[in-house]
Each structure stands twice: as C-alpha cells, then as structure tokens.
Chains A and B, each alone.
Chain A
Amino acid sequence: MSSKRYFILFKNIRQVIKAEKYFREKQIACKVMPVPSRISSECGMCLEVNKPANEAQLENLRQVGFECSCVAL
C-alpha cells in the first residue's frame, strides 16, 4: 500500500473554498490542509485527497473553472 499523500493545489484560496464545497457536493472525500511547506513556504490551503487525481479528473475540474494540479508527496 502506498504511503504517498496527494494534494490538489489551486490558483488561490478562493478556488480552494469553492473546490471544497464542490467536492462535498460531489461526495468526493477531501481534507483541507495547509499547502505542505515542501511545495510552498507561503501560507496557503489545498485539498488532500485519498487517490491521485488523474489528468481526466483534473480536466473535469478545469472545465468547471478550477485551475489546479495534483502533487504526490
């Protein structure tokens, strides 16, 4: 079992707020987390998900207006 963690990063905190709501509506499990300091030293939030988001899933998010990427740590 992989011990990796997967974080979806967004353009800004406003998008994180909208995305968290969107994920809950779609019943996609997610956890609001500070952006890991390995990725950014700035104070930001992101969403941690259980599985890596594939490109198609990210594309779906982009189509509803989110500028996002998935990072595995």
Chain B
Amino acid sequence: MKVVDARGKRCPQPMIMAKRLWKTLADSEIFEVWVDNAVACENLNSFLADHNASPKSIEREGYTAIEARKPEKASEKPEPEAVCAPSNSAYTVVLKNDKMGHGDDALGEILIKGYINALAEIDKLPEAIVLYNAGVLLARKDSGASEGLAELSQKGVDIILCGACVDYYEIKSDIACGRISNMYVIAELLAKTGHIVYP
C-alpha cells in the first residue's frame, strides 16, 4: 500500500503531496496519507470525498492516517486549489479598469500603477491577473503599469488579457506583456480560484 507521510508538513504541503500520489495510483488502489494537524486532515478528507475516494480517518499515536481508495473511474473534477484557510488560499487579481476606485481619474490611474508595482514586491503573489475591459489598457507599453505586470509575469504570475477587449481598444500591437485569451479561459479561471481581488 502506498503511503504519503506528510507529518510535520504545514498546509498546503500535505495536499500537494497527496495530489502527486493521486496521479500515480491505479484504479481501486488503496492508499494512506499521514498528517498531524487538523486543517490538513480536514482538507484532505474534503478533497478525497469530492473525488469519491471514501476517506476514512484512523487515529494513531500522534497522527491521523487517512485511508482512501481511488475509485475505478476517478472523478475528472478540477482539483480544488483553495485548500487551506482563507489567509493561505490562492487568489486571482482582476483588473477591470485602468484606474483604481471611483472618483478622480488621474488619482485612479496613479493608484492602480502603485498597486501593481507594490503587488510585485509582496510575498504572496496572485496565481493570475486577469485584465478585461479598460483593464487591458494597463498592459500597453506606455501605460506605466506594464513594467510591473511584466515583473509579476517573470515571477510566475499568469497575466491574462481579454482578447475581445484588446480587439475593441485596438491595442494588440502595443501590448507589452501578458497572454491574450478568451472568456472561456477567464470564466474557468475565475470559477476555480480561491478568491478574487478587485483592487
């Protein structure tokens, strides 16, 4: 029986380890994940139940063994990414305008640039930044925000631009960073993200 020993690992490590194991399992294969904290235990039980793996928690000395069986036809559901407490969960930033907040436009423009440049320096980066409607204007070469977006991209943040919006504003040749995508991709991303930040 395959065993993942995630004792001493903090969230989300046990979940990441369990997901790696999950991919290697054959249909109907029984396995165990060992954890020693309640949050990881709860998250794993939730993940495994969602995937019809019938998890069963067995209390052992100093840790919990979660025994489960991969079903014959494993669920093809997307794996939940938001597996930890909200403060640790993955998040996506949505820039729906080229300004921050309502009020004076010039102030809003300087604030959004400051936000993007500050975002590139914080520890917990978003998984992705989605830009739509006038938000795509921030990805232009001369926007004053594109350098910050490029820096975020270099750090692994997926910068996604709404293709219809890029087309509408006729800025395709001016785009400095990010990948142009469509509303299906954006809808899927927003549906699976832990939470969304609208600055």
Interface residues of A (CB under 8 A from B): 13, 16-17, 20, 24, 31-34, 45, 48
Number of A-B residue pairs, CB cutoff 8 Å, is 30
Whether B113 contacts A32 by the Cβ 8 Å rule is yes
Whether A34 contacts B118 by the Cβ 8 Å rule is yes
**Chain B residues near A31 (CB-CB < 8 A):** 113, 117, 147-148
Q: Bound complex: CA of A23 vs CA of B144, how far in Å?
A: 11
How many residues from B make CB contacts under 8 Å with A? Answer: 13
Q: Bound complex: CA of A41 vs CA of B47, how far in Å?
A: 42
9 interchain pairs (CB within 8 A)?
A: A17-B106, A17-B107, A20-B144, A24-B144, A31-B147, A32-B110, A33-B114, A45-B114, A48-B117
From 71 to 125 in chain B, residues with beta carbon under 8 angstroms from any chain A beta carbon are 106-107, 109-111, 113-114, 117-118
Interface residues of B (CB under 8 A from A): 106-107, 109-111, 113-114, 117-118, 142, 144, 147-148
Contact of A13 among B110, B113, B142, B148 (CB under 8 A): B110
- Min CB gap A34→B, angstroms: 5
Q: A20-B144, A24-B142, A31-B147 are in contact. Are A13 and B107 (CB under 8 A)?
A: yes
Whether B110 contacts A45 by the Cβ 8 Å rule is yes
**Chain A residues near B110 (CB-CB < 8 A):** 13, 16-17, 20, 32, 45
- Closest-by-CB residue of A relative to B106 is A17
Q: Bound complex: CA of A48 vs CA of B117, how far in Å?
A: 10
- Closest-by-CB residue of B relative to A23 is B144
- Min CB gap A41→B, angstroms: 15
Interface centre among B107, B110, B117 (most CB of A within 10 A): B110
Whether A33 contacts B117 by the Cβ 8 Å rule is yes
Interface centre among A17, A32, A34 (most CB of B within 10 A): A32
**Chain B residues near A13 (CB-CB < 8 A):** 107, 110
Q: A13-B107, A17-B106 are in contact. Are A34 and B142 (CB under 8 A)?
A: no
**Chain A residues near B109 (CB-CB < 8 A):** 17
Q: Bound complex: CA of A41 vs CA of B114, how far in Å?
A: 16
Q: A20-B144, A24-B142 are in contact. Are A33 and B107 (CB under 8 A)?
A: no
**Chain A residues near B118 (CB-CB < 8 A):** 33-34
- Closest-by-CB residue of A relative to B151 is A31
**Chain B residues near A16 (CB-CB < 8 A):** 110
